[in-house]
Amino acid sequence: MSASTVDSRELRNALGRFATGVCIVTTSTADGRKAALTVNSFCSVSLDPPLVAWYLNDRAPSLPVFRESGYFAVHVLAADQQHLASHFARPSEDKFAFVGDRLQTGLGDVPVLGDTLARFECRTTAIESYGDHMMMLGQVERFSYGSESPLLFHAGRFMEQSKSL
């Protein structure tokens, strides 16, 4: 089957059957421009060196900020943080005003959120184009994590983990 014969809506529905975690990715440039968005395309790439990746649509308004910054932070959300995922998924003049005093400054002056399930502060090592998305590859320079249950995304909806096996 060639790419031109694939129904993109049906492919999206099929891919949506794979449950993923939900993350917020943040960055900042040297001149103070900030960007943040909700993603479910985060993945581990390597432990040695410690590399992670995530993907951004090549038409995303935040792409120039991520290209210019040398750092980004990935925040894995806990089950009770759907409100953060929803907020950062929508366009906004100042997405960071919503988090108030929970906002801190991380490596590379990147804004970081306190109290997320896990956080990975990364130095950008590569930005590559794949189809209609850009892969953002980063080397993990600092991380933290907790023990809460994760927020999941499945079949187009947020879900909480019902139980551990």
Helices marked H in 3-161? 8-15, 63-68, 82-89
CATH 2.30.110.10 fits 10-160, yes or no: yes
Map residue 69 onto helix, strand or coil.
Answer: coil
Burial state string for 117-126 with b = 16 or more CB within 10 A and e = fewer than 16: bbbbbbebee
How many DSSP H helices and E strands does the chain contain? Answer: 3, 12
Residue type, 109: D
| 78 CB neighbour count, 10 Å cutoff | 20
**What ranges in the chain are assigned the alpha helix state H?**
8-15, 63-68, 82-89
Q: How many residues does the chain have?
A: 165
CB 22 within 8 A of CB 37: no
- Structural domain boundaries of the chain? 10-160
Single pTM value for the model: 0.91
Question: Over its length of 165 residues, how does the chain's per-residue pLDDT go in tens digits?
Answer: 455 688 989 998 898 888 899 999 999 999 999 999 999 999 999 999 999 999 999 999 999 999 999 999 999 999 999 999 999 999 888 888 888 778 999 999 999 998 999 999 999 999 999 999 999 999 999 999 999 999 999 888 888 765 444
Which DSSP state fits 54? Answer: E
Q: What is the largest CA-CA distance in the chain?
A: 51
